[in-house]
Amino acid sequence: MADRVRMGIVGAGSISIRGICPHLQMEDVQDRVVMTAVCDPVEGRAKAAAERFGIPAGGAFETIEELLDSGLVDAVTIASPIGVHYEQGKLAIEKGVHVHFNKSMTTTVGEADDLIARAAKKGVKLVSSPGEMLRPRHQAIRELVQSGALGTLTWAVTGSAFGRYHEDESVRHGDDVLSNINPAWYFRKPGGGPLYDMTVYGLHAMTGILGPAKRVTAFSGVRLHEREFNGQMLPVDMDDNTVMLLDFGNSFFAFVYGVAAGGLPNTWRPMIMGTKGVITNGEFNGAAIDYPGRDLDDTGKIGINTSLPHVVGAHREMDEAHVYEDVMQLVDLIRDGTPTVATAEHARHVIEIFDAAYRSADTGQAQNLRTTF
């Protein structure tokens, strides 16, 4: 077993400040993982994050290249804008540094193929968020589906809406570098849009429960060409209104969406229909689905994050506990080889669906999928 994993934080933006760093600062994880470095291109932000979260002063950098060259890290959690995940992941892998990718791992299936191949060649371990199938609820739903409780599956739906979630986050409206974080990248190419950022949760759960999809067709485009933030107008050039149909084979289809505003109720995670009923929002035909940890999820402040395996004690009251869980999956994989379902291969399949959906929208043709997990 390895000693404590020395973790570098790549990007001191919203997810790091609200979630990753507060969790990894907690005393109960210090025997397994310690934050030793942080980087961010905004002047002074890495230094401010290091001071707030107890990262040694010599571990604050403006670039990932400096962080990786420092020799201070065994692993990194990449929490930068999605459009740069591929290049940053490639740099880390080439240095022999293990990687956790915050969702989504890349923007194209080709990029995901390349990272997985490079990691295998270098002996680098990869974990990719979101680890939706780590949730006991989703494991129980998968068992119900596989047991035939729903009868013959007929169709399913999942998706999400941007709304003003990112503009209104708590780290956006302050007057220092850790509280005035601009959300502009969420609306720009590459890597912006609701699919990579939000729909990725429901689609990871859907494919984790139902298995890989086989084909996709879609419509997609930009609906809102500007967004207001702190009195300025942010341009939008990444598709923010995408609807797709997935074919799982044998005429079993799913509707998946990532839109600018206005999501369907109870579809953030999959609603699954069959000849014997429907599973939605943790219920089967209106009755709560039982699973280990359901009492925690029902009463906990953070919902279905509460029953995740590493989310114990004070972590159950903290934001973004699911991201912390995925980081700890990498820590366990490094330290003692504990396997995880939050794999780069599953992430690649979901990314291929998004990638193919955009191609379908451009060409007007259904796209066959080649990846599995």
- For residues 73-84, average pLDDT: 98
Residue-wise pLDDT tens digits, 167-192: 999 999 999 999 999 999 999 999 99
Provide the percentage of residues in the chain whose pLDDT is more than 70: 99
Q: Give backbone dihedrals phi and psi of 365, rounded to 5 degrees, phi first.
A: -125, 145
What are the CA-CA distances from residue 330 to residues 76, 97, 111, 150, 325 (Å)? 10, 12, 21, 34, 9
Same domain? 41 vs 174 = no
Does residue 320 belong to any structural domain of this protein?
Answer: no
What confidence score (pLDDT) does residue 57 get? 84
In a domain, 120, yes or no: yes
* Count of domains forming the chain: 2
Question: How large is the average pLDDT for residues 96-116?
Answer: 98
Q: Provide the 3-class DSSP secondary structure of residue 166.
A: coil
Of 175, 186, 291, give the one whose Cα is nearest residue 237.
186
> How do residues 16-33 score in pLDDT, each as one tens digit?
999 999 999 999 999 999
Nearest to 343 by CA among 332, 328, 330: 330
Contact criterion met (CB below 8 Å) for 259 and 159: yes
Backbone angles phi, psi at 156, to 5 degrees: -150, 165
Same-domain pairing of 125 and 147: no
Tally the residues of the chain: 373
Structure tokens at 291: 């699973």
User: DSSP strand E in 240-371: where?
Assistant: 241-247, 253-259, 271-274, 277-280, 283-284, 287-288, 367-368
Contact call for residues 127 and 76 (beta carbons, < 8 A): no
Q: pLDDT confidence of 65, banded at 50, 70, 90? A: very high
> Are β-strands 153-161 and 232-235 bridged in parallel, bridged antiparallel, or unpaired?
unpaired
Per residue in 283-299, pLDDT (tens digit) is: 999 999 999 999 999 99
231 and 255 together in one domain: yes
Token pair, residue 289, equals: 């689905």
Give the pLDDT score at 22: 98
Please give the average per-residue pLDDT across 87-110, as a whole number. 98
Q: Quick check: is 316 in a domain?
A: no
| Tokens describing residue 182 | 């601009």
Residue 292 confidence (pLDDT): 97
Domain of 24, CATH number, reads: 3.40.50.720
Mean pLDDT of 50-59: 96
Query: Does 318 map to a domain?
Result: no
- Per-residue confidence (pLDDT) for residue 194, from 0 to 100: 98
Residue 257 shares a structural domain with residue 141: yes
- Percentage of the chain with pLDDT > 90? 99
Do 240 and 145 fall into the same domain? Answer: yes
Structural domain of 45: 5-131+326-341
User: Is the torsion defined by CA of 244, 249, 251, 253 positive or negative?
Assistant: negative
Claim to verify: residue 231 and residue 363 sit in the same structural domain: yes
Both 137 and 123 in one domain: the answer is: no
- pTM of the model as a whole: 0.97
Please give the average per-residue pLDDT across 341-361, as a whole number: 98
pLDDT value at 268 more than 60: yes
* pLDDT level of residue 2 (50, 70, 90 thresholds): low
Residues 6+ apart with CB under 8 A from 371: 109, 212, 345, 348, 349, 352
Q: What is the mean pLDDT of the chain?
A: 98
Choose among 237, 250, 212, 227: nearest CA to 168. Answer: 227
Is 282 found in the same domain as 192? yes
Residue 274 lies inside a defined structural domain of this protein: yes
Q: Are 110 and 139 found together in one domain?
A: no
Domain annotation covers residue 315: no
Read off the pLDDT band of 46 (50, 70, 90).
very high
Scanning the structure block, which residue is given the tokens 């429901």?
Answer: 202
Q: What is the pLDDT of residues 192-245, one digit of tens each?
A: 999 999 999 999 999 999 999 999 999 999 999 999 999 999 999 999 999 999
Tell me what the mean pLDDT of segment 294-317 comes to. Answer: 97
In this structure, the answer to whether residues 126 and 186 fall within a common structural domain is: no
**Total Cβ atoms within 10 A of residue 198:** 23
Flag whether 276 is in a domain: yes
What is the rounded distance in angstroms from the CA atom of residue 150 to the CA atom of residue 88? 43
291 lies in a domain?
Answer: yes
- Do 50 and 155 lie in a common domain? no
| CATH code of the domain in which 357 resides | 3.30.360.10
Say yes or no: 298 and 333 in one domain.
no
